[in-house]
Amino acid sequence: MKSPFIPSLFLLGACLAAVRVQAQTATAAAPSPVEALSVDRIVRSEGLGPVFGLDSYFVPPDRPVDGYFSAGIAADDLAQLQKAHAAGVQPDCRIEVRLTSANDDSVVWSQAFPVDWAEFVTKKENRITDQITIPGNVLKVGKYRLTAFAVTSTGQPQPFLISLPTDFGAKTKVECPNFTELVVRPDRNFVKPSTCVDSPTLLTHSIDLHSPSATATWWNAGPAVTDARRTIWDMCIFEDAVYLGTGSWAHKGPYSPIYALTVDGAGHTEVNESYIVYGSSVEMIRTFHGELYVPETDRVRETHALGDLYEMKDGAWRKKRTYPNGLHMLGICYWKGRLYATAGTEPGAAICVSDDDGTTWRKIKADEAWLARDFRLHELTPLGDRLLIVPAYGEKAAYFLDAKGVLERRNVEMFPGMQGAGEHGKTAWRLKSFAGGAVYTSAFWGEPMKHPLYFISDPARGGEIVETLKDLNVMDIQIDGNTCYVLADTPAGNDFENQIFSTTDMKSWTRVADFKTTALPFSMIHFKGKFYVGLGDRTAEATDEASGRLLRLE
């Protein structure tokens, strides 16, 4: 679940519908299994595809765009292709990618991909990948769509569609566009100027609260810690304690503890289990109007018909299993007297609103095709007079909800300067409102790419990279009143060199900590005058011995 989903594809299966079979004898032969596949059936199959990966989805005029195109074929269709190949029957079709203007559908560029069917069958693979380069001289300011077609030598080109259910378990389908978007915008400076100085009391030492020599009790919850190498995903202050959400991609549950860190008047710390969530990880903890909220990111028990929201009030936890089709609940926000929560559901992305604190939910309506295509909605936060909501593939667009309940999707350049073809690592993460805008980084999925600090105040302009942290990997962002704290790291061999910065205006920064760890610094909180840092796994598959340890900086 953690890595953004790259779907199974059926594009090459469509090409099989265009097979021209030569008669082997003078008498009529029985229809080939390949001939039984129609183009109309394949382009409206249950699958998702094709996949495009571009090195950037927002570019200035006349700048070439490199990327890749990948398509696949269903297992049954591949078997038919192999049988036809063995009988000497070869398809006569090609794949063609076209770039069209979003305004009038005029074709400004195209690239054909002849398929070597013999090699395809011999390798027994169900995917083909080709490089694409869109020349800069065709790219002028405007919006474009990159679309794939199946083209035969005698027939018309047919675009491929995505067909998904419009509701959980529903038989009705919605056909989604198969294109990816490309925006050519005027050239701009996307680095937000800032300055930084060191604090005169720079923190450089850490105390491991997992160590027996520290004045703390840690992982004392019994059976929930059979795998102690766990990531501390998030921290949140609530009722004079810090609540820690834990979990492990590698461990995969079946449960993830929430711990409570308390500090007495003498400065002694104690960490005790507060609650058990039956999912692979607790990745988000938030507090609103006197309650603590935990959306269940990845449930491992019960069905997916309803999603779970955990709430704590007056010292007691309660579970509300009420979110419709909440396969993955990914964000929560209290705004204008209502609770909003985002999710990935069976039909696609979703956002629901509750007037009774999560007891009942109402889905906010929008373009179902886009919600299905965008797969999941992740974090959300107020931005001006609207809610900013980021989808799974946030390098292309964002959603905005107004006070009247109207949900709108816009092309917004959330990640300026980010290079590298692919779909991973481009979801806004740690999204928080601050200084008249919102701060965030790109989601950490273990990929070796930079994820600096971004700031957005004007969606029309897009995001900016904060100069002070442009070359660092941001792992956590915490807002404490009028101060924003940012935890960032730089890999140093098998270890990590880490820093914490603070600002009140996004322009002037102070470096308040500089320390090293042997595992990834995943989360951070400033509590009763001290900084606490939670360590975690560096990738979805690998764990470090120090993962799950809690540090206090001195």
Per-residue pLDDT of the chain (554 residues; tens, 9 = 90+): 443 333 333 333 434 333 333 333 334 444 444 443 445 554 555 444 567 888 889 999 999 999 888 776 666 666 777 777 777 777 667 778 999 999 999 999 999 877 666 666 666 556 677 889 999 999 999 999 998 887 777 767 877 766 666 555 555 666 666 788 999 999 999 999 999 999 999 999 999 987 443 444 344 443 334 344 478 999 999 999 999 998 875 555 567 889 999 999 888 888 888 998 877 789 999 999 899 999 988 766 666 778 889 999 988 999 999 998 888 889 999 999 999 999 988 778 899 999 999 999 999 988 877 887 788 999 999 999 999 999 987 888 999 999 999 999 999 999 998 765 444 447 899 999 999 999 999 986 555 567 899 999 999 999 999 999 999 999 999 999 999 999 999 988 889 999 999 999 999 999 999 999 998 999 999 999 999 999 988 776 666 778 888 999 99
Predicted model pTM: 0.86
Extract the runs of DSSP E, i.e. beta strands, from 172-290. 173-176, 180-184, 191-192, 195-203, 206-208, 231-237, 242-247, 256-263, 269-277, 286-288
Cα 356 from Cα 368, distance rounded (Å): 26
- From the number of C-beta atoms within 10 Å of its C-beta (0-12, 13-18, 19+), residue 111 rates as middle
> What DSSP letter does each residue of 68-105 carry, written as one string?
EEEEE--HHHHHHHHHHHHTT----EEEEEEEEETTT-
356 secondary structure, DSSP code: S
CATH 2.60.40.1180 applies to domain 11-184: no
Cα 151 from Cα 147, distance rounded (Å): 13
Same fold, 11-184 and 191-553: no
Dihedral angle of Cα 418, 424, 430, 436, to the nearest 10 degrees? 40
Structural domain spans, the chain: 11-184, 191-553
Inter-residue contact 63 to 12 (CB < 8 Å)? no
Identify the CATH class of 191-553: mainly beta
- Residue at token pair 């249950």: 46
pLDDT at position 43: 54
Inter-residue contact 74 to 149 (CB < 8 Å)? no
